[in-house]
């Protein structure tokens, strides 16, 4: 059986990055990963015997994020208003677009954001994402389509402004 210490050492940073992409802030990410690791510790006899305990921890992080009511009610990152920039210079269109995208991600429903993170950050196939989220691949695709449509519309509106 793999030891929890070994798995934590090898995956902690990766889990933290995944949690950051999901939650939008380092502090929330740390809280997410801590909660998951504390629960994993209690269940390690079972998890440690799995073929890929790292993948299981990743699924736990995603599910913790999706089920974290406290994060929504009390600890969600306050939505920053789009930062107004002086108009007399170009701030770098690509950078501005990425900043806007990061802000818009925080406004998506969490399942949609999770799908985008798993698809475009973790580079997982829709079938793998479906397994993690416990939904069908068709549901993954529809969540992704809705999320992309929202981003497309908002980015277009921001650029128009």
Partner 1 sequence: MPKLTDDELGDLLRDTFADHEHLADHPPEATKRHRIAPVLLAAAAVLAVLAGALYGVSRVGAADPAPPAATPTPTRTASDDALIWTASIETLLRSVKPGSGAWRSVIVVDQSDDGTNHFPKGPPISADQQEMMTYLMRRIAPLQFREKLSPAPPTCQDNRVGVVLISEMVDKGDHVEVRVNLFHDCNHGSNATYRVEHRGPSWVVTATVSSTSASW
Residues forming the site for partner 1 (CB under 8 A): 4-5, 8-9, 12-13, 16-17, 20-21, 25-31, 33-35, 37-39, 41-42, 70, 74-75, 77-78, 80, 83-86, 89-92, 94-99, 101-103, 105, 116-117, 119-121, 148, 151-153, 155-156, 159-160
Contact criterion met (CB below 8 Å) for 36 and 60: yes
Rounded to 5 degrees, what angle do the CA atoms 16, 64, 52 make? 65
Nearest alpha-carbon partner for 24 in 100, 90, 85, 76: 76
Instruction: Provide, rounded to whole angstroms, the least separation between the CB of residue 133 and partner 1.
Output: 18
Residue 139 or 141: which CB sits closer to partner 1?
141
Instruction: Provide, rounded to whole angstroms, the least separation between the CB of residue 29 and partner 1.
Output: 7
Torsion angle of alpha carbons 28, 31, 35, 36, nearest 10°? 60
């Amino acid at each position: 059986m793999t030891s929890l210490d070994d798995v934590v050492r090898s995956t902690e940073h990766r889990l933290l990055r995944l949690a950051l992409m999901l939650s939008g802030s380092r502090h929330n990410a740390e809280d997410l990963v801590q909660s998951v690791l504390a629960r994993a510790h209690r269940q390690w006899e079972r998890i440690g015997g799995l073929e890929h305990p790292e993948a299981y921890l990743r699924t736990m992080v995603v599910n913790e994020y999706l089920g974290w009511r406290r994060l929504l009610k009390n600890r969600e990152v306050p939505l920053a208003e789009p930062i107004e920039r002086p108009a007399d210079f170009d701030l770098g269109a690509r950078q501005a677009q990425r900043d806007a995208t990061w802000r818009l991600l925080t406004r998506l429903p969490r399942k949609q954001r999770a799908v985008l993170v798993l698809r475009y950050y973790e580079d997982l196939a829709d079938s793998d994402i479906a397994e993690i989220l416990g939904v069908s691949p068709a549901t993954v695709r529809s969540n992704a389509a809705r999320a992309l449509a929202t981003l497309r519309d908002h980015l277009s509106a921001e650029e128009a402004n």
